[in-house]
Structure 1
Amino acid sequence: MVSRTTEARTPPPPSLWHHRAFRLFWAADSVSQFGTYIGNTILPLVAATTLAATPFEMGLLSAAETAGYLLIGLPAGVWVSRVRQRRLMRHANTVRALLLCTVPVAWWYGLLTAPQMIVVALLCSVCAVLFDVAYQSHLPVLVGRDQLLEGNARLQSSQSLAQITGPGAGGTLVQLAGPAYPVLGTALGYLTAALLLRRIRDPDPPAPADSPRVPLLTEIREGLRYTARTRTLRAITACTATANFFNGVLSAVQVLFLTSTLALTDAAVGAVLGVLGMGGLVGAVCAHRVVRRLGQARAVWLVPLATFPSLLLVPLAGRGVLLAPALAGLFITGFGTVVYNVAQVSYRQVICPEAMLARVNATVRFLGFGALTLGALLGGGLGELVGIRPTLWIAAAGTSLAALWVVGSPLRGMRDFGCRAGGADRPWS
């Protein structure tokens, strides 16, 4: 008779709902995300409707919102690894609040111009780089690596909720109250987030005092080399950068498409843009289950392959009921983007050594958001040269093809990142 033995299972970690430091961290990030999405709706709306900006100026404004990743994206990873990360996040939000306050002041004195808004957006994007790299690098320290999937899913749910309500709130507020007071409210949100971070009692670890100070360029090269040599990470980074590039093309002309081509009101524009976030919120709620069911590696390539092509529905949109294709395309794209992000960000945080994590996060965001910036510049130029709707077709087609990077990578031979097939996670040389 063969006896059966029962393996002792490790109990799951307690829910992050009971983690006070994470709750405050989550709340601070949520308020910051709401501020970002409201601000990113208000500034283009004011530029398009009040300041009569051209498609090229709209492209510059859209590019400025992410240009910080091109300017300081790579050194930011080194800087973040050398300082107290929560304190850096507080300072970044405080500076963003002060920058935004210059917009209503200029408006009240009749001095607001498109170039000023572009400069404000650019400087805010520099602060956003430091904030984002710090929060992604600090999360494993705060909650531990065994709770990263849950933590990232909760953070993504807040970002998606901000995408839903932020554009609608921003559009409605601009229509009702003009640009000044909504921008002031956004600035207040950033200050509130800084105060929430200050209430976290857990230690904010400094950089190791006994570690040798390596030259800045050397550390940047190490982050680039690690990202390039890790084959799965390289494929994910290429997929993200390609999708972001063509989303930048889309972002440069989407507000003009909705306001000029489809003749929507400011509030309606915000509501349409919020549909992307609605899909993202559903994705964030389902992400933990979807990733567990498919497997972490499989979710990274299968989800974008199935959902990114839905963006091809957006250029089909027309007035009235013909707006439905755009809404469906935005919803499905938002769902897929968030599930993909939860899987691939959790992967980065698991695979990277703690000392390398900030530099890898900065490298990936430099390439991803740098591509978004360049795409926005191209989108503004294409809008001028070939028209708005043809530019939307180019953006949708390019985004659909982005999934080919991960589909053709070693990820297809893996189910989870811990189960390597053919040495998929081993660096190449």
Structure 2
Amino acid sequence: MTEKRTSLWRHADFRNLWLGLTASMFGAKVMAVALPLIAAVSLNTSPFEMGLLVAAETLPYLFVSLFAGVWLDRSAKRPILVLTDVVRAAVLLVVPIGWAADFLSFPLLLTISLAVGVCTVVSDIGSASYLPLLVERKDLIEGNSKLELSGSVADIGGNALGGGILQIVSAPFAVIINSATYLVSAVFTLLIRHREAPPAQPEPADGQERVGIWREIAEGAVPVLRNKVVRTLVTATLVFNLFTLLIEPVFLIFVTRTLGLEPFYLGLIFAASGAGALVGSLLADRASQLLGVGRAMVFSLLLAGVAALLIPLATQVPKSMAPLLIVPMHFIDAVMVIVYNVNQRSLRTAVTPDRLQGRMNASIRMIVMGVSPIGAVLGGLFGGWIGAPQTLVLGAVGILLAGVVIVLSDVREVKELPDSAPVTV
């Protein structure tokens, strides 16, 4: 049992992939602090322009994901991962150069953010699709847990690191450090020795010279639409994300206005979420071993829903006691979210043929990112209509419903991941 848990640390190729992705995650956190600060302080941007800059980070997921999935399935993934790191490093260097030469402007900064965002989408989908080529199917949960561990540490320490760097050097030159982290990521990815077999090219239909990109995109939707396991996971995740985003716009209103808590407690709440994500990444593999993959997902979603449901109860206790309820609930919620994400991502990867990994991941990213603004808008509407506490209850019930989706399916009985990749969906 111990050997299974530690085996991937002795897997040289996985270790290099993990080190590279960890470096890029920390770099992304530095950028998340530096670019808005440059826009706000050095360029004196308006609130609307700041909104555009924030939107530029996720907008490529909606418009680039499907095409990126086809490209990744047509090509060797390792060189593409290296390319995205090198391009991000080069593009970010324009910031300090532009600032020093006095030609840095908001349109240029927005263009840089969009370019980095496009590369991040390709890298995100590519790394998720590359992992099953490096490790065995049975090790996917361990591998995804370790990658989530890096993400959790980056969430906890990355912003603080970015803030510390900005205390030492000015924001434009802090971006140089961000650029360097992407180059470090490229170097570790280059050190991966595994070489992929040439991807099988889709055979053209009768009378056609080559299969078109739209047909390949449609083929990539097959694992999502036809495979019962993947379809169930996507449905549950869609419901979960919709109601989680429904909660987000009203949570701060609930804490600051309904409960009247000071900013100090907000810091505790967000710190608890970061710590919970870290603990969740450490427990995900153990949860699947103890409960089975399917039951671990059911347990994590239902417990996350219960934790979210208890938060509005803070209105029923004295103000001084409210943080004692909210902070632990946020910790538990974050733990369970990571346990669920690691297991569902590993299972959907394990039951998808290697040749469709890129397009499967791209299709799911598209769906997940597409529902995010819908949930946020609905949260704002319900918050104004029925009130923040009631909206929090509605969101918690929705999260419980996501668990019910898996309870009512055969996925709940999945005990472990398959040992080999399927040939067909």
Tell me the TM-score normalized by structure 1: 0.78
2:130 to 130, 138, 158: 138
Structure 1 position 171, deviation (Å): 3.2
Indicate the residue corresponding to 1:220 in structure 2. Answer: 217
Structure 1 position 76, deviation (Å): 1.6
Distance 1:131 1:413, change over 3 A: closer
Indicate the residue corresponding to 1:415 in structure 2. Answer: 413
Indicate the residue corresponding to 1:307 in structure 2. Answer: 304
Moved more, 286-295 or 32-41: 32-41
Q: Work out the CA distance in 1 between the residues paired with 2:314 and 2:54.
A: 23
What amino acid is the match of 1:416? V
Distance 1:264 1:206, change over 3 A: farther
Structure 1 position 280, deviation (Å): 1.1
Indicate the residue corresponding to 2:184 in structure 1. Answer: 192
Structure 1 position 250, deviation (Å): 7.0
Q: Is the 8 A contact 2:291 2:415 kept in 1?
A: no
Question: How much identity, in percent, do the aligned residues show?
Answer: 31
Structure 1 position 363, deviation (Å): 0.8
- CA deviations 1:141-170 (Å, max 9, x no partner) are 111212212111111111111111112222
Listed as ranges, the matches of 1:4-403 within 5 Å are 15-44=7-36, 57-108=49-100, 116-175=108-167, 177-208=169-200, 214-245=211-242, 273=270, 275-308=272-305, 310-311=307-308, 313=311, 327-372=327-372, 378=377, 382=380, 397-398=394-395, 401-403=398-400
Distance 1:419 1:226, change over 3 A: closer
Q: Is the 8 A contact 1:314 1:329 kept in 2?
A: no
Q: Work out the CA distance in 2 between the residues paired with 1:210 and 1:281.
A: 41
- CA deviations 1:13-43 (Å, max 9, x no partner) are 9811221111111111111122223323444
Q: Work out the CA distance in 1 between the residues paired with 2:391 and 2:140.
A: 36
SS across alignment from 2:162? helix
Distance 1:79 1:333, change over 3 A: same
SS across alignment from 1:208? coil
Tell me the TM-score normalized by structure 2: 0.78
Distance 1:102 1:94, change over 3 A: same
Structure 1 position 326, deviation (Å): 5.7
Gaps of 5+ in 2: 205-209, 419-423
What amino acid is the match of 1:296? V
Q: Is the 8 A contact 1:66 1:372 kept in 2?
A: no
Distance 1:402 1:217, change over 3 A: farther
Structure 1 position 251, deviation (Å): 7.1
Q: Work out the CA distance in 1 between the residues paired with 2:247 and 2:300.
A: 21
Q: Work out the CA distance in 2 between the residues paired with 1:323 and 1:365.
A: 34
Q: Work out the CA distance in 1 between the residues paired with 2:174 and 2:312.
A: 28
Q: Is the 8 A contact 2:293 2:416 kept in 1?
A: no
